[in-house]
Amino acid sequence: MAGINLNNIAGSVSKAAGSAVSSAKSSAESAVSSVKSAATSSEGNPRDNAFKAICAVIPGKVSNDTVLKAFELMRKQQATMKKDFSANLKKNLSAFTSHQDVIKANKGYVEDQNKYTDMAYGESTMQYSGCEVFATFNALFNLTGKYPISLPDMISQYEKDGMVMAGKFGTSPQAICDFLNKKGYPASITTKDTEFDALGKKSDSLILTMYNDKEDISKEVHTVNISKENGKFTAHNVYCNGKVVGPYDSVSQTIANINKGKAKGITLIGVNKK
């Protein structure tokens, strides 16, 4: 986190959050400082620490649109740092070979994120912070039946544009939408859960970013691919241990069966074949 201009971030957070963050620049600066301190702490998981710090400063009922804007602000700040993570690619190319048999056994999908301690994402690991990348990887497999972009290459591309807080806090959902569109897969994003089922009907595959527990946001945010086959929806890598959720008849029904009904959608990306 070294080199971040707290004044710039604080001003941007205050502007983006609006009424959702009632305090002005001084409070926003304090919030960002808390997140910075937590993310660089030598104790515990940096992603967990950062998320808990954010939970302490944002309202319990912050809008989905505000969450998306906050991620985008952190994405833009990360991009200005111009940090070089190219060494990760070599490491990830080597490590990924040990995971390919399990992916085949899981019908072509990554379902076991907890096993990816050996692959890097920025200054974090794919185990802790790779869910958005895995969701993109799974969505492209769902769309094409193959891997048009290798996982190590995809990681490298998101490290250049998309990840936030050097990967310690995952990836901005908007970056996923941008990534897919740039690759020629038409994608759109919504923060309105009332639109989720309609988007599901007109999309070939989906990527959901959600609160794991709508009553306790300290239980983190997670991103999953919801594949679509024969009009049925199945969520992948939900628990990072090989289990899927589905198939169900709609996106809302799928979400309702995640974490015993405690999950709540933040953003949903609908993506279609070329």
Whether omega before 247 lies within 30 degrees of 0, making that bond cis, reads: yes
Q: How much is the pLDDT for 11?
A: 45
User: Could you read off the pLDDT of 114-153 as tens digits, one per residue?
Assistant: 999 999 999 999 999 999 999 999 999 999 999 999 999 9
Beta strands in the chain (DSSP E): 120-121, 124-125, 187-190, 205-211, 221-229, 232-236, 245-248, 264-271
State whether residue 171 is helix, strand or coil: strand
Chain segment 21-76, per-residue pLDDT in tens: 443 344 445 555 555 565 566 566 666 666 565 554 443 567 889 889 989 999 99
What mean pLDDT is reported for the chain?
85
Question: What whole-number distance in Å separates Cα of residue 164 and Cα of residue 261?
Answer: 28
Distance of CA 70 to the CA centre of its chain: 13
Task: Note the pLDDT tens digit of each residue in 83-111.
Answer: 999 999 999 999 999 999 999 999 999 99
Task: Report the C-alpha gap between 161 and 80 in whole angstroms.
Answer: 10
Q: What is the number of other CB atoms lying within 10 angstroms of the CB of residue 97?
A: 9
Count of C-beta atoms within a 10 Å radius of residue 230 = 5
- Greatest extent of the chain over all pairs of C-alpha atoms, in Å: 52
> pTM for the full model?
0.81
CA–CA gap between residue 195 and residue 92 (Å, rounded): 37
For residues 196 and 199, give the distance between their C-alpha atoms in angstroms, rounded to a whole number: 5
Q: Return the structure tokens found at 196.
A: 């989720």
CB 133 within 8 A of CB 85: no
DSSP at 218? G
Q: Are the C-beta atoms of residues 245 and 255 closer than 8 Å to each other?
A: no
